[in-house]
Amino acid sequence: MQHTSQLRQFSRKIGTIGLLLLVSMGSATSVIHADTTNKPFQITVDGAWIQGEGMSFQRNGTIMIPIRVVAEAIGANVSWFPKERKITVNKGELNVQFVVGSKQALINNKEEEILAAPEIREGKVFIPLRIAMESMGATIRWDASNHTAAIESFLSPKDAKEQIASIADKTILAIKNKDFATLSNLSSREHGILFAPYSYIDQKRNIIISHGKIAEGFDNTKTYLWGTEDGTGDPISMTFESYYKRFVYSKDFASAPKVGYNQTLGLGNSLNNVRMIYPESIVVEYYFDGFDPKFEGMDWKSLRLVFEKEADTWLLVAILHNQWTI
């Protein structure tokens, strides 16, 4: 499948625990090499592991991370200016600017001195984790025993649950009961609902059903090309009803034993890019950790509902089916 192939290529290129934004520097840029025996930190964004080949490292107690992976994971953008050896990171009205080798940074238009200067290793720019994340509005929880930095990119799970739980409950029940009139009322008037058969969102391939069309439910008999099958690459060509039964309510998710609010529960090998597409969303995940013991949890499934705020109301903008993929 195309997104799986992209993920494999992506994983080969990014750092093992890369976070915030991986930048390719070009051959003209000098590279700073420094050996370190410090144990690398594992890093998660909203519960999803950030993995790859290059590693984060500690320098004088400061965690340094390579720059592109997480910027996108938390909905930020990065730009590299090779002549000035300058990196800028932007997320909405928030912006930071770093210069390789300098402890002077521009944090939301205010000059500040940071603990460690950005440096380049093997073609990647590394910057201090905490200042990069917190300046983008994210928070970090440290688990020293597991050497893990858990990053919450938007709302914490607790805050997200407080804001969305009642709406999410109505939405999952509407999905279960095939109550398409209610589901339509809970969806975005402007954007409709995007449907992705796997956790990776492909905006060029995934189908968006409009707010009005959702209300038709199974009376909408049009055949759509929803994407491609993982592993085989075969087209997923189905009516809305067939897709719904296989890639929406394939299990009784309303009775799922685990529900995560801005927390990734199902971790497969398909890239989770929901935060790149919907940076200020609340994601509610209904998760089964497996059904048949012989599969040792590899048969897990989950359904992710993505909500964005329009005016003062949280509305459904995407439904993502998730399971282990090849």
The whole-number pLDDT of residue 13 equals 35
The whole-number pLDDT of residue 236 equals 95
The whole-number pLDDT of residue 15 equals 34
Which of 107, 26, 122 shows the shortest CA–CA distance to 66?
122
Domain ranges across the chain = 2-152, 157-323
Report whether pLDDT(251) > 70. yes
The whole-number pLDDT of residue 173 equals 98
What is the average per-residue pLDDT within 181-204? 93
Q: State how far the Cα of 48 lies from the Cα of 288, in Å rounded to an integer.
A: 17
Report whether pLDDT(249) > 60. yes
Sequential DSSP letters for 211-247: HHHHTTGGG---EEEEEE-TTT--EEEEEHHHHIIII
Domain at 157-323: CATH code:
3.10.450
- Domains 2-152 and 157-323 equal at CATH topology level: no
pLDDT band at 39 (very low <50, low <70, confident <90, very high): low
Report whether pLDDT(203) > 90. no
Read off the pLDDT of residues 132-179 as tens digits, 9 standing for 90 and up.
Answer: 888 887 878 777 777 777 787 777 788 889 999 999 999 999 999 999
Report whether pLDDT(18) > 60. no
What is the average per-residue pLDDT within 109-135? 86
The whole-number pLDDT of residue 41 equals 67
Percent of the chain with pLDDT over 70: 81
Task: Take residue 140 and report the two structure tokens written for it.
Answer: 């970090």
β-pairing verdict for 110-113 and 48-49: unpaired
- Cβ burial of 144 (10 Å; 0-12, 13-18, 19+) is exposed
Read off the pLDDT of residues 257-294 as tens digits, 9 standing for 90 and up.
Answer: 999 998 888 766 667 778 778 878 999 999 999 998 88
The fold adopted by the segment(s) 2-152 is Copper Amine Oxidase; Chain A, domain 1 (3.30.457)
pLDDT band at 51 (very low <50, low <70, confident <90, very high): low
Which of 96, 128, 91 shows the shortest CA–CA distance to 111?
96
What is the average per-residue pLDDT within 78-107? 90
